[in-house]
Chain A
Amino acid sequence: MKRILIILIVIMTGISCNNEFLEKIPTTSSVVENFYNSPTDAKQALTSVYNMLLRDDYWSLHIYAEIRSDLFAGGAGTGDGGGFQLLDRGLQWPETNAFQIHWTTYWGAIYRANTYLEAESQIDWTGNEKLRLQYQAEARFLRAYFHFYLTRMFGEIPALDRVISPDEIPARSSAEELYTLMIEDLKFASENALSEPYGQMKPENWGRATKWAAKALLTRVFMYYSGYYNQSEIAGINNSTALTYIEDVISNSGHNLVPEYASLWKVPCVSELGSLDSYAGETNQEVIWSVRFNNVGSGSYGGNQFVRMIGPRGTNIDPYGQGWGAMPVLPSFWNDFNNDDKRKKATILSWDDEGLTYNWETQQQAQYTGYSLKKYEILSIDGSPEPKPDWQTMADEDYIVLRYADVLLMAAELRSLVNGEGDAQAVTYLNRVRERAFGNSNYNYSNASINNILNERKFELAGEEIRYWDIMRSCKGDFSKLTTMLTYVDDNDGGDYSNSADTQSLDVDGSNFEKTKGLFQIPQNELDLMRGVFEQNPGYSAND
């Protein structure tokens, strides 16, 4: 008996391999401490930062910023709650957390960039020192890009160059600190990123932030800072030094304008040039940097989902594919366009002028102006939207962030600022864009006044998330100008276009753009989570 008892006790205690028994690691994911080892790991970690670019959805800032501009109405569906219309008028979205997704997504992107920059030191780079610098450059480019996105929307956000813990709440940084971080990141990228000119770049690197993209973005960031904050210099960059960056892109990047404006996007290409055969493709010479939407196989965050918002609601008339009716073009913009300007019909679909009918009331489109945006509209083939099977999630057209025409116009503007509006080179840059648009030199400008340049930017870059920020920076810190530039006046535009009811017929609060300095409302949820450390942007009450 005793022996049995002993055996039993041994069994009971002997099974207790205990600590080892309970030390379990996952089979399907790695653990942070031991993941970052080789350059391959680095490449994967960096890829995850790029991945954040793909999050754009129906809420894309691309759409929101354009709706706020003077070129587009709100649109969308009658069931969408009227937020788009209110946004158009500079008013508060009915839901106080409407912009939370912008806030969280792009802070998430900054987190991934910082995670990369902190973890990359664990990696053995022996023999790959140049690659290390290139990857660092790309991560810093993206960090700057995402900061720039957030600060234009929300103002003086914290400049984060490190991973913070979930309970740390950083304070707002000054504009100077914030822009210094962005400019320094972009300077580093300008020196260390891939530097082959267009045409010599390895195809597998298409989509990576290059030296040229960094220089163009640096110029854009500087110009926004100097305009919006009315400052002449930041982190050693002023108009003159910025000019050297942007002119380097003009001269040495190998990028150039494509001959036909309409060939840059699929739908304008079909409607204006006759068929998709003329499409310049996503990797054409004019594209300096774009977000590479792609939808190989299933899975979310692959397709370009904001394009589905733009088309006419519920109607496919080849080549105009359906969307959810957001961002209808204001008639004033159509009227402002010179009829000889080939960009007019490449940019805007005028239903009447093209002899098409669109029954917006039965389709429950909240606003209808008679005009839709063609650029980025999804394609319709045989009366059904492309791509199939799911036009809503599988659109894979790249979203162009930086293109050569913009570079030329930025250079023209800086030259004009440095040397005056008569600067011959500035006029040349400006007219290169203009001549392509008209197909001849009949409409060439004789001087490169800031006004001429901004006007040209409006027509050239409409619907590309440029216009609203151009207006913001052109105020030079005097936000009362926004009131006249952005206020939506029904009468001037020929009616309120509304399909129904109260929310679409709201009184226009013209002073709101001034009060908010053009910024967006910080989501109330986030302010609550930051326990009052962070203040709401001016002009927005947390109430109602």
Chain B
Amino acid sequence: MRIKQHTGIRKNSQRIFIYLLFTLLLLPAAYAQKRTISGTVKDATGETLVGVNIVIKGSSVGTATDIDGNYTLEVSNNNDVLVANYIGYIPSEITIGNQTLINFVLEKDIQDLDEVVVVGYGVQKKKLVTGATTQLKNEDFVKNNVVQLESAMQGLTPGMLIVKQSGQPGSDFNITIRGLSSINGNSPLVLIDGVPGSFSMVNPSDVESVDVLKDAASAAIYGSRAANGVVLITTKKGTKGEPVISYDAYYGVSNIYKTVDVLNARQYAEIMNEASFNSKPSRALPFTDEYIESLGEGTNWQQEALNENAPSQSHYLGINGGNDMSTYSISFSYASEEGIFDYDGKSKYQKLGFRINSEHQLKPYLKIGENLTYSHRERRAMGTGNIYNNFIHDLLQSNPLFDAYDEGSYDGFGRSNFYDEQINPVASMHYNFNGTNKTDDLIGNVYAEVEIAKGLKFRSDFGGTLNFGYNYSHRDTFTLTPYTYSSIPSYSQGMSRNFYYNFDNVLSYQTTIDKHSIEGIIGMNAQDGRYFNVNGSREGYLSNVAPVINNVTTNIDTTYIYGDYGEGDSRFSYFARASYNYNEKYMATVSIRRDGSSRFGRDKRYGYFPSASAGWVITQEDFMKDVAGLNFLKIRASWGQNGKEPADQFVYMARVGSENRYYTFGGEREVGVSPIIFANPTLKWEASTQANIGFDSRFMEWFRFTFDIYKKESKDWIMQTPVPGISGIDGISSSNPYINGGNVVNSGIELELGYQKSFGEFSIDMAANFAYNKNMVTEVPDSIIMGSASVLYNGSDEFYRVQEGMPMGFFWGYVTDGIFQTQEDIDNHVGPDGVKKLQATAKPGDVKRLDLNNDGLMNDKDKTMIGDPNPDYIYGFRLNMAYKGFDLSMNVQGQGGNQIVQSYRSQERFFNNYTTEILDRWQWTDANNNNVVDAGEGNGNRIPRVTLNDESNQNWRKFSDLYIHDGDFVKIKSVNLGYNFKTSVFKNTPIKQFRVYVAASNLLTITKYNGLDPEIGYGSYYDSEGKLRDAYASGIDVGFYPSPRTYLIGVNVKF
């Protein structure tokens, strides 16, 4: 391979296309005699620029500079103007005249402020933006090489926290912008090319830009659904010019980077003996000394379940092009990932999709176009999440005394002969988790835009999402334990269809009079949705032919069918916005949206959501001209209000239903009907009000700095409030009535510092962001919302809550003060009267709890905040470097100030294994080794003595800070090292660019947390009805499927 030294490689053709899209004017070109002109493009320092786009103004005719900065182009009209465009530089125009050699010298545009960002129902120049928005471009995240867009965006947007609900391929993400603002879900509104959708519907490579609208003023144009912020995803559009074909692919392998240390066989047996002795000294110990002597390491269950070198791959083919009339952008993509824990391909995610976007200038005043994205997703996943359906939880606490496989057993799986109720977690993976979920999504829109008069445009946009889901699953017969078994096989199939349409009509007007620029829009939006689903299952014997419901043979009819449909989830809205700026120095925007929603009762159906914002570019003022080093400074302030609607339809309405209301008279089961909800016709929108002050700056030419400070008040949560049982609620529904109530204030700061410069052949672009947020609940109806019980183990107390004066979902429990070393310690732990023992039934080795309210009683009133799952601060760092043909990029993500509750062990099952942390337990040491546990002094002052979990002090059963761990971490999310071959290598081929790279994700995690992964997205959960519960809860580790470490190699080719 011959690599010639060259200078000034700053190529990134994607940027060029993006830029082109917004800068080309839509005027017809005239053609005449053709001749060739050529030239070189350099920057102010004399370095040549590679990949600069040279086009004839107003046409699609153009080319790009080669690796040495040279270009040639055929032209036909001396009156034409050549435009040289390069991202980060001021475009330059030269009229051709009779020249044949045209050299450009491009000035660095240190501002990059003329770029436009996407705002609701339009675009706006970055320098005129008065709200708090962040724009990510394709090149900012595509090198993270991940299948899911959310994952690609992690750590890039200040104030936006993205956490995966599980590290298993294809699982969803929890996204929070500027802190938790509702107990009712915090996901932002996501629009894809203006159509409400979800992240999973698009492929990261298809995304041109993602604009995150964080403050209320920016989001207010979306009114009643914007309280959690808005994310606008713009997919790639076609550009005029020669078609560009790009192919991107990678292949990688993933592995776990850390397992949790649990007791090996010998340690386990010793601990079990000790626990048994501590609980019931008179009883024979479970294991004899000889047996313990014979034990080795035993089974490491985590190792048994690993899928080493789990493969992942991705292929993306994109075609962009167009002419004066039409532009198009087409893509096809395929990706697959396997989980790092797996059994027989049960943890796998595949995604296939295509996209067709096109736009046609039918008349000078009429433009039509369409965006359409199809994606097919196929997911097989093993249970993660709550303790009852979580294979990781099983792996971590299964005893190490038996093998995963046993040729002697009827099914080849080992069984514990120590304890009957012990399931073999690998066998459980085999027998459970046989479901496959497939999804087909179509999202798209067609639009027409008419220019009625100069500056006056009307745009009508009809779009929607169509989603088909289907799933199937089977359960064979098995006997895992005498208690966990399935005695009859079953099979289930289900299918669903969801359709939403979205209809926007917007009239816009823009004009400039002298230095006054005015822009206004007025529009309407209508949305409606419908769903249909049917699920069936049947128990019996499965045919070997094809496991479908029809092939299940049964003696008795065990067919269960459930079907549902609904329609009319409707919204109807008007909105308007007016923007004004004077000479791009002073600017102001006001907007209002009036929303109507069918999710509310007649009297509460309409709401108004206003906003106002203003900006002042101080550097435009004469008196700032002399401030050295400050190139640009804009101060901005905004205020706005948004709403949030209930998660479900009809929650306000008094309905009756028949589910679970039957009774059997004679031999017949008869239908019963009664109310299913306490109606609340006065239910209204959650209301979020936010003020934001910030500034954007450019200084010392190469630096940029953005700062925001905000306060967001989110009140009137649509919540279900517990009502006294005496009201009869249990006869109505298992869910409580809906009311409005509560208030939470999020206040914080966000900053982003960027630096971008070239030093000869070396260029660097980096950005660091940091966000601090304080979450404080200021009002809760009845002052407390209690979290669920039985989250950590069957029968565990509630331990997270929403309460006035505390952050949302804070951990609530006892404060401990070490371990009682002696009986004397216990006797001395007394109430204020100096006599009454606070923990009279404790024994040495038990946990000492503090009587915080000093009332002489040890009870719930002594529980307090012992941890906060919400990070105080989150941060990210992004680096791009290039030297000659090499480029290196890196993403770092971190957070701090949050706590994690770790509970890997079901406390009610004393035979379950422990992590090695238990080796630090309090253990009484006696010189004579006479096995007396009630006297003497022990050692160890954090982990209490081991028992059969039945000690009357309830060391672990009473929730305390024993469970709390700090959750700070920093992760090197991705590193990507690439090399661009010189185009001269491919002289006689159509290849225009060829880049190879190696990359790694999750290369390094720095944390003190001892669990599998500190980045924990579990807390809230979906109940048996599929409804989100405790949406405010987070940071709970009951066995979290960790994110993998992946190494991959890839290519980017352009033709």
Contact = CB atoms under 8 A, between A and B. Distances in A.
- Of the four ranges (under 10, 10 to 19, 20 to 34, 35 or more), the interface on chain B belongs to 35 or more
A477 interface: no
B669 A294 contact: yes
Interface string B369-389: 000000000000000000000
Contacts of B566: 26-28
B795 interface: yes
A206 B660 contact: no
B550 interface: no
B618 interface: no
B453 to A, nearest CB: 6
Contacts of B567: 24, 27
B726 interface: yes
Contacts of A80: 908
Contacts of B954: 94
A492 interface: no
B505 A11 contact: yes
Contacts of B602: 23
Given A31-B654, A389-B539, A500-B283, A205 B724 contact: no
B990 interface: no
Given A8-B458, A103-B725, A107-B725, A41 B673 contact: yes
A240 interface: no
A1 interface: yes
Interface in B194-248: none
B122 interface: no
A320 to B, nearest CB: 14
Contacts of A502: 279, 841, 950-952
A110 B728 contact: yes
A19 B597 CA distance: 10
A207 B663 contact: yes
Contact of A299 (B524, B660, B670, B908): B660
A22 B108 CA distance: 53
B649 A26 contact: yes
Given A12-B523, A502-B951, A294 B664 contact: yes
B666 A205 contact: yes
B726 A158 contact: yes
B674 A115 contact: yes
Contact of B730 (A26, A33, A104, A166): A104
Interface stretch (A167-175, A244-252, A426-434, A479-487): A167-175
Interface string B650-694: 100111111011111111111111111011000000000000000
A107 B724 CA distance: 10
Most buried by A among B458, B726, B861: B726
Contact of A205 (B597, B650, B665, B679): B665
B565 interface: yes
B673 A44 contact: yes
A297 B458 contact: no
B735 interface: no
Contacts of A158: 726
A43 interface: yes
B653 A26 contact: yes
Contacts of A53: 663
Nearest to A32: B654
A22 B566 CA distance: 14
A523 B724 CA distance: 11
Contacts of B728: 107-108, 110-112, 114-115, 163-164
Interface in A44-58: 44-54
A442 interface: no
A204 B666 contact: yes
Interface in A170-193: 170
A302 B782 CA distance: 35
A321 interface: no
A52 B731 contact: yes
Contacts of B951: 501-502
Given A81-B957, A297-B560, A29 B655 contact: yes
A500 B948 contact: yes
A4 B726 contact: no
A356 interface: no
Contacts of B858: 544
A474 B186 CA distance: 59
B732 interface: yes
A526 B672 contact: no
B674 A48 contact: yes
Contact of B724 (A109, A115, A500, A526): A526
B857 A389 contact: no
Contacts, number: 279
B909 A79 contact: yes
A522 B453 CA distance: 75
Given A15-B526, A16-B524, A100-B725, A111 B731 contact: yes
B729 interface: yes
B672 A166 contact: no
A203 B731 contact: no
Given A164-B726, A314-B482, A362-B420, A500 B280 contact: yes
Interface stretch (B483-491, B636-644, B701-709, B753-761): B483-491
B738 to A, nearest CB: 11
Interface stretch (B52-60, B144-152, B353-361, B568-576): B568-576
Interface string B478-522: 000011001110000000000000010101000000000000000
B504 to A, nearest CB: 10
Contacts of B159: none
Contact of A388 (B420, B458, B488): B488
Interface in A94-148: 94-95, 100, 103-105, 107-112, 114-116
Given A44-B673, A104-B730, A78 B948 contact: yes
Contacts of A388: 487-488
A200 interface: no
Given A111-B727, A203-B667, A526-B726, A45 B673 contact: yes
Contacts of B539: 389
B949 interface: yes
A375 interface: no
Interface string A2-42: 00110010011101101001111111111111010000010
Nearest to A207: B665
A55 to B, nearest CB: 8
Contacts of A81: 795, 908, 957
Given A12-B507, A47-B672, A502-B279, A204 B726 contact: no
A31 B450 contact: no
B299 interface: no
Contacts of B676: 29
B23 to A, nearest CB: 28
B572 A165 contact: no
A440 interface: no
Contact of B665 (A21, A206, A297, A544): A206
B453 A1 contact: yes
A49 B670 CA distance: 12
A530 interface: yes
A157 to B, nearest CB: 8
Contact of A389 (B488, B564, B730, B782): B488
B1004 interface: no
Nearest to B664: A294
B947 interface: yes
Given A4-B452, A24-B649, A26-B655, 11 more contacts: A1-B452, A11-B460, A26-B649, A29-B655, A32-B656, A51-B672, A164-B726, A164-B727, A169-B724, A297-B560, A526-B726
List 3 tightest A-B contacts by C-beta distance, closest first: A111-B728, A108-B731, A24-B568
8 contacts: A12-B524, A31-B656, A35-B673, A166-B737, A302-B662, A500-B283, A502-B950, A543-B857
Interface of A: 1, 4-5, 8, 11-13, 15-16, 18, 21-33, 35, 41, 43-54, 78-82, 94-95, 100, 103-105, 107-112, 114-116, 158, 160, 163-170, 202-208, 292-294, 296-302, 314, 322, 362-364, 384, 388-390, 500-504, 506, 523, 525-526, 529-530, 542-544
